[in-house]
Amino acid sequence: MDFTSCKRIISKAYNGANGKKIAVEYDGKRYMLKFPPSGKNKPTELSYTNSCFSEHIGSTIFNMVGIRAQNTMLGTFDINGKKKSVCACEDFTSDGSVLYDFCSIKNTIIDSEHEGSGTELTDLLETIEKQQFVNSEELLEHFWNVFIMDTLLGNFDRHNGNWGLLYHSSSDESEIAPVFDCGSCLLPQADEKLMSKVMKEEDELNARIYRFPTSAIHHNGRKINYYDFLLSMEDDNCTKALIRMLPRIDLDKINAFIDKEQYLTTTQKKFYQYYIAQRYEKILMAVHRKFNKSASGLQKK
């Protein structure tokens, strides 16, 4: 899909970092085109990062497991004679609804030294409990469901500005916004050389599973290490989310989806499939097995 000739919507602008964003009309709908940010001065051979691919794959997988996410598609856009890969994200505010990111919500709920942008887990959970936009239990479940999927996808940037709630003025009602901004999943700065290395060398793979990427959420003053936090089972709601989400993750379905993406090279397809499967097995399933073992031990007692 080439979006170059699509009608530009000049009156719509988008916030956020990580690359240029423009609004276009395609097939009667408004889309945000996300261009990949420059990868220059990074320790890879990429001139641009793979964030557009990460955005599309991540968003699609969220929808696959029953967590509503933005609808996306991959395509190209011609800039000065050069075709750039872009991710087209259907604009879920085109009906007039207003997106309130969690940063703004947090600023209105609690008085914290870390302000709205702070991602300390205790502050986030307090805000979820005290906010009155949507049912707090549903929002808490959503928060941990997304955390589990970000664990699977290796998302290092789920900060307070890229999730939130939708307000509909016509009905004066709010709902949880679709998941968006998944461009920091799946090692977006990895070129094919690094992808091959991760698939071939156990140490390289394990470093990118057990050490980094970490979550953007802080706990006890440090960014959460996905594996360590899940393994500790210190938050019952997080553990419940793991148990809830695991049956929804169908690796065969995910692999089939990735195989059909024409904009991905063979190496990229193999890497994304391999990396997701390894994070599934080495983090989610490993913790789930420990939980089952612990539960079995308690029953015997």
Task: Annotate 6-17 with b (16+ C-beta within 10 A) or e (fewer).
Answer: beebeebeeeee
Higher pLDDT residue, 289 or 113?
Answer: 289
User: How many other C-beta atoms are found inside a 10 Å radius of the C-beta of residue 1?
Assistant: 14
Percent of the chain with pLDDT over 90: 81
Q: What's the one-letter identity of residue 16?
A: G
Q: For residue range 85-123, what is the model confidence (pLDDT) as tens digits?
A: 999 999 999 999 999 999 999 998 887 666 778 899 999
Hunting for tokens 């691919």 — which residue is that? 53
Contact between residue 20 and residue 35 where contact means Cβ atoms under 8 Å apart = yes
Q: What's the one-letter identity of residue 42?
A: K
Domains and CATH numbers, the chain: 98-176 (1.10.1070.20)
Q: For residue range 18-53, what is the model confidence (pLDDT) as tens digits?
A: 568 999 999 999 999 999 876 555 555 554 589 999
> How many Å apart are CA 212 and CA 154, to the nearest integer?
8
Is it true that the peptide bond before 37 is cis, omega within 30 degrees of 0? no
pLDDT at 7 over 70: yes
> How many Å apart are CA 263 and CA 277, to the nearest integer?
21
How confident is the model at residue 42, as a pLDDT? 53
DSSP conformational letter for 50? S
Contact between residue 283 and residue 212 where contact means Cβ atoms under 8 Å apart = no
How confident is the model at residue 137, as a pLDDT? 98
Q: How confident is the model at residue 270 (pLDDT cuts 50, 70, 90)?
A: very high
Q: Residues 145-158: what's their mean pLDDT?
A: 97
Percent of the chain with pLDDT over 70: 92
Q: How confident is the model at residue 288 (pLDDT cuts 50, 70, 90)?
A: very high
Residues 106, 112, 117, 121: is their CA dihedral positive or negative?
negative
Q: How confident is the model at residue 252 (pLDDT cuts 50, 70, 90)?
A: very high
Hunting for tokens 């395509």 — which residue is that? 75
Task: Pick the closest to residue 235 from 135, 147, 156 (CA basis).
Answer: 147
Interacting residues of 205 by C-beta distance below 8 A, sequence separation 6+: 198, 199, 278
- Residues constituting the chain: 301
Hunting for tokens 């009155």 — which residue is that? 132
Interacting residues of 58 by C-beta distance below 8 A, sequence separation 6+: 69, 153, 155, 182, 183, 185, 186
How confident is the model at residue 112, as a pLDDT? 63
How confident is the model at residue 47, as a pLDDT? 45
Instruction: Please state the pTM of the whole predicted model.
Output: 0.93
Q: How far is CA 101 from the centre of its chain?
A: 15
> How many Å apart are CA 206 and CA 125, to the nearest integer?
30
> Strands 72-79, 82-90: parallel, antiparallel or unpaired by DSSP?
antiparallel
How confident is the model at residue 294, as a pLDDT? 77
pLDDT at 218 over 80: yes
Q: What is the mean pLDDT of the chain?
A: 91
Cα separations in angstroms, 263 against 51, 127, 162, 258? 13, 40, 25, 10
Task: Pick the closest to residue 79 from 3, 191, 16 (CA basis).
Answer: 3
Give the lowest-confidence range in 178-182, 232-236, 280-284, 296-300. Answer: 296-300
